[in-house]
Amino acid sequence: MEAVVVKNAGSHYLLSPLPVWNPFPAVLRGRVRLERSVSTNPVAVGDRVRYELETAGLAGSDDKAVITEVLPRSNYIIRRSTNLSRQAHVIAANLDRAVIVVSLYFPEIKLPFLDRLLVTCEVYGVPAVIVLNKLDLYRSLAQEQVDDFCRIYRGAGYKVLECSALTGEGIPELRELCSQGTSLLSGESGVGKSSVIKALDPSLDPKVGSISTAHLQGRHTTSLYEMYPLQGGGFIVDTPGLRGFGLIDLEREEIYKYFPEMLRVADHCRFVPCTHTHEPGCAVKQALEDGGISPERYNSYLGMLEEDKKFR
């Protein structure tokens, strides 16, 4: 029998025969755990799995579901551990899109973090949408910064939705988007991800956290990876707020390919291969000078090149 993993609680899981929402508990057979040991979690939310029912051997006891096989993934989001180890963690699999929630302030946005997450989406074939949340806090005070952010990421080729979970601005468009297939909601701690989920479907009750005034960073409020059905259709995967996001399975000379705006012009570089850092006749650096590539995104690229050396 086949089902989809809708909750990962470490050693125990919930499965459901999607698109029917009927969750039931399951455990993982040991040999599957060993076979998929390249990451810290052999099974991720969104995985399609095969399972068997095993009797507990006690009179009147219920059968239990045991995951026996993880079926091939169409795509997934994976992150390297935030320390310098080579361990990796699969966040979710078989996604129709990743919805990355950010806020310009409270907490202040970290563009290198956002760009690493976007690069990972590009690497593993997950379409990305950016939700700029908390507009109610700074729409009137920081409109220029809002416009600059949208210009940078729309110019790179990404859909950017301007939203406020508090006032409802932009939520209908996001709800319509998420009504199709499975959407991962991810972002740094404190950006209002749980509030966005609540705004999308008031029947859901994810934990809503507060901001630490000492560091203006969000406190972790979600500790499990879990999928929810939306009343308007579709499914969303909620994830713990991230404080770091390390790249994995990416060669240094390939990083530029996952910046869409750089890939569009890189074929015109004079030399191949080109690192797009110091070579003469570099089309990427020319596009940077001409305004076709934003300095913010280019600086993120340089940071990834430097970061890559730490893991070699």
- Looking at domain 76-238, which of 3.30.559.10, 1.10.3720.10, 3.40.718.10, 3.40.50.300 is its CATH number? 3.40.50.300
pLDDT > 70: what percent of the chain? 84
List the single range of 23-37, 165-179, 182-196, 279-293 with lowest mean pLDDT: 23-37
Residue 63, burial from CB neighbour count under 10 angstroms (0-12, 13-18, 19+): exposed
Tokens, residue 255: 């990083």
Half-sphere exposure of 94 (CA within 13 A, CB side): 19
The pLDDT, as a whole number, for residue 257 is 94
d(CA 69, CA 43): 10
Each residue of 118-146: pLDDT tens digit?
Answer: 999 999 999 999 999 999 988 777 889 99
Q: Is 80 exceeded by the pLDDT of residue 239?
A: yes
The pLDDT, as a whole number, for residue 38 is 58
Mean pLDDT, the chain, rounded, equals: 85
d(CA 134, CA 141): 12
Residue 103: which pLDDT band, with cuts at 50, 70 and 90?
A: very high
d(CA 222, CA 217): 15
Q: Which amino acid is at 158?
A: Y
Distance from first CA to last CA of the chain, Å, rounded?
Answer: 42
Read off the DSSP letter of residue 307: H
Residue 209: which pLDDT band, with cuts at 50, 70 and 90?
A: very low
Residue 84: which pLDDT band, with cuts at 50, 70 and 90?
A: very low
Q: Is 70 exceeded by the pLDDT of residue 193?
A: yes
Residue 41: which pLDDT band, with cuts at 50, 70 and 90?
A: confident
Q: What architecture is the 252-310 domain classified under in CATH? A: Orthogonal Bundle (1.10)
> Position of tokens 């809002």?
146
Q: Which backbone phi and psi does 129 adopt, to 5 degrees?
A: -125, 135
The pLDDT, as a whole number, for residue 247 is 73
d(CA 290, CA 310): 32
Q: For the chain, which residues make up each domain, given as ranges? A: 2-70, 76-238, 252-310
Q: Is the pTM here over 0.95, yes or no?
A: no
CATH domain 2-70 topology: OB fold (Dihydrolipoamide Acetyltransferase, E2P) (2.40.50)
d(CA 90, CA 223): 15
Check if 2-70 and 76-238 are the same fold: no
The pLDDT, as a whole number, for residue 251 is 84
